[in-house]
Amino acid sequence: MTKDLLPIPQAFCQECRLCCRFLEPDRLTPFSSRPELRPILPEGFRGKTDPDLTLVRVDEIDLWQCTLLDESSWSCSSWPNHPFDCRIYPLVLILREGSPWLGVDTNCPFSLHIHRDSLQEKALSIKDTDWKNLTDTVKSTLIAHLGKEFTDGVLPILSLEG
């Protein structure tokens, strides 16, 4: 299992939390928060505690907020044992022309501070360990879900096939 990635200063995230609130419950949310995916995920993809989502209203907008977000400290209450896809963020799994890829979500303000070589290196590590070790059934289930993900602002950086 790829170790914690791309250390982002906690203070930076506490000012942001963009990746812990979502416009829709099944897009860019942690895989382990989705009831249909949770049971098939291998242990390494789930965090110590499974997140759920709760609807909150912020500036007149309805958002799905992760229940592991501690509102008093504005930090992740499950860190550093949070779900795999949270740990690799701003790297995200996406579908590109029907194939799974890793991309970097430039909507994360810190993504601009991470060197491209570092992102590429981490993406390779994820491909060679985490992705490679998934069963074909889990891969195909995840791929079916990736078709719904938002990809605006996501730059593809590595194909997970081949």
Q: Is residue 40 a contact residue for ligand SF4 (CB under 6 A)?
A: no
Using the contact rule CB under 6 A, the part of the chain among 36-44, 62-70, 114-122, 129-137 near ligand SF4 is 62-70
Q: Which ranges in 65-115 belong to alpha helices (H)?
A: 84-88
The answer to whether 94 and 102 have CB atoms below 8 angstroms apart is yes
Radius of gyration of the chain (CA): 15
Give the start-end residues of each E strand in 33-90. Answer: 53-58, 61-66, 69-70, 75-76
Task: Check whether the bond before 90 is cis (ω within 30° of 0).
Answer: yes
Q: Which region, judged by CB under 6 A, interacts with ligand SF4, from 55-63, 103-111, 116-124, 145-153?
A: 103-111
Distance CA 157, CA 102 (A): 6
Angle (CA) 45 34 60, round 5°: 120
Q: Does 78 bind ligand SF4 (CB under 6 A)?
A: yes
Residue 19 touching ligand SF4 (CB under 6 A): yes
**Listed ranges 56-64, 92-100, 104-112, 146-154: which one lies at the site for ligand SF4 (CB under 6 A):** 104-112
What does the block give as tokens for 103? 């991309």
Can you tell me which of 51, 119, 146, 158 binds ligand SF4, judged by CB under 6 A?
51
List 108, 114, 123, 154, residue binding ligand SF4 (CB under 6 A): 108
Considering the rule CB under 6 A, would residue 69 count as an interface residue with ligand SF4?
A: yes
Q: Which residues bind ligand SF4 (CB under 6 A)?
A: 8, 12-13, 16-20, 30, 51, 66, 68-69, 76, 78, 82-83, 86, 89-90, 108-110
